[in-house]
Amino acid sequence: MTTTTIYGLLGALLVGVGLYGLIVHPRPLRKILSFNVLGSGVFLLFGVVARRGAAAGFGGDPIPQAFVITGMVVAFAATALAVALLLRLAEVGGATELDEPPPAEDRAA
């Protein structure tokens, strides 16, 4: 058991936990939260890959570390867009649950 193994297993578990929440939780805000947990699990897996590749005097392979930084910024932007959509939905439509879509023929064109 090494540090990278521990965080690798943690990353795997967080992906599982986040994925479950994203699929199952009925509240959109909690789905967004689950997406962030899922994302951080994926980033930790990148971090483990980076740490295992420590060489040339660097504490880790800088390429996967850079992937994570890019990914985090994108994840924040995605969270911001999802939250803005959710708040607008609450303002316009009242209910925010993403219930099963009503039959498509009822929907406006």
Partner 1 sequence: MTSAGGELLVLALLLPVAGVLLAFLLGGRWAARITLLALALGLVLTGLLGVRLFASAAPLTYALGGWAPPLGILLRFDGLSLALLATAMVVLSAIALYARAEFAVPAGARETRASFVFWTLLLGVWAGLTVVVLASDLFTLYVALELLTFAAVPLVSLEGRADTLRAALRYLLYALAGSVLYLVGCALLFGAYGTLDIGLLAQRAQADPATLLACALMTAGLLAKTALFPLHIWLPPAHAGAPAAASALLSALVVKGSFFIVLRLWLEALPAVVTPAAAQVPAALGAVAIFFGSAVALRQARLKPMIAYSTVAQLGYLFIMLPLVLGATALGQSTATALAGGMLQLASHATAKAAMFMAAGLIYAGLGHDRVADLGGVARSLPLTVWAFALAGVALIGLPPSGGFLAKWLLVSAALATGQWWWVLALAGGGLLTAAYVARVLMVALSSAGPAPALRAPVARSRQWVVLGLALLSTLLGLLAWVPLAVVPLGAAGAR
Partner 2 sequence: MALVLDAGMALCLLALALFALTARASYSAVAGFVAYGLLVALAWVRLAAADVALTEAAIGSGLTGALLLGAAARLRASESTTVAWPSAARRAAAALLSTLVALGLAAVVLWLPQPAPTLAHEAAAGLPSTGLGNPVTGVLMAFRGVDTFLEKVVLVLAMVGVWSLAADERWGGRPGLRHEADPNGVLAFFARLVIPLGLVIGLYVFWVGADHPGGAFAGGTVVASMWLLAMMTRLADTPPIERRALRLALVVGPALFLLVGLAGLAFGGGFLAYPEAYAKPIILAIEVAMTLTVAVTMALLLAGPPLRSADGQ
CB 7 → partner 2: shortest distance, Å? 6
Question: Under the criterion CB under 8 A, does residue 88 sit at the interface with partner 1?
Answer: yes
**Amino acid found at 28:** P
Which of positions 14-73 make contact with partner 1 (CB under 8 A)?
Answer: 15, 19, 22, 28, 31-32, 35, 38-39, 42, 45-46, 48-49, 52-53, 61, 63-64, 67, 70-71
Closest CA to 72 of 52, 43, 101, 105: 43
Closest CA to 93 of 28, 24, 34: 28
For residue 26, what is the DSSP state?
Answer: S
Sequence-separated (6 or more) residues with CB below 8 Å from residue 69: none
Positions that interact with partner 1 (CB under 8 A):
15, 19, 22, 28, 31-32, 35, 38-39, 42, 45-46, 48-49, 52-53, 61, 63-64, 67, 70-71, 74, 77-78, 81-82, 85-86, 88-89, 92-94, 98, 101, 104-105, 107-109
